[in-house]
Homo-oligomer: A and B are copies of this chain.
């Protein structure tokens, strides 16, 4: 019974460790997730089903969070990227603050250690729209100030690589 319980627990809860082949696969998929398992197999010296099995496990274990289309900001009417540092009285993480996540212009929200409380990464059509967004940030109770850093140019923008 103990053994069985242990086995059940181990099988259900413990994700497999990520090995070197996994890392290479993850690197390839982080770069381009449209590659076929045949192509990936050639690059990893594995057969397509073997790659498929690994990818399946990496998705199941949450190492691959999602497969998404990365869009071009300007092409979809969001040419202005900015980082907004939000200072709040007290802790800052409130329902109203978290509700800002529902705004399409807000792409990232991090609580930080430092001389700000929250950092938002936002993407809007223009400075007018940034101002409108800031108005919504100021409407959150407890917000006492913001500092905006408008990206003039972007030299790199990608997600994590292993």
Q: Is the beta-carbon distance between B114 and A68 smaller than 8 angstroms? A: no
- Per assembly, the copies of the chain total 2
Write out the residue numbers on chain B whose beta carbons fall within 8 Å of the beta carbon of A153: 93, 110-111
Complex alpha-carbon distance, A69 and B30, angstroms: 5
Q: Is the beta-carbon distance between A68 and B159 smaller than 8 angstroms? A: yes
Q: Is the beta-carbon distance between A155 and B33 smaller than 8 angstroms? A: no
Task: Give the contact-size bracket for chain A.
Answer: 35 or more
Contact of A31 with B by CB under 8 A: yes
The segment out of A46-54, A131-139, A143-151 that lies at the interface is A143-151
Contact of A126 with B by CB under 8 A: no
User: Shortest beta-carbon distance, A15 to chain B, in Å?
Assistant: 8
Complex alpha-carbon distance, A114 and B105, angstroms: 20
User: Shortest beta-carbon distance, A137 to chain B, in Å?
Assistant: 14
Complex alpha-carbon distance, A70 and B108, angstroms: 14
Complex alpha-carbon distance, A150 and B118, angstroms: 10
Complex alpha-carbon distance, A160 and B66, angstroms: 15
Q: Mark A residues whose CB is within 8 Å of B.
A: 15, 18, 23, 26, 29-34, 61-73, 75-78, 81, 83, 85, 93, 98, 101, 104, 106-116, 119, 123, 147-162
Chain A to chain B contacts (Cβ below 8 Å), 8 pairs: A26-B71, A63-B76, A70-B160, A104-B162, A107-B160, A112-B149, A114-B150, A116-B149
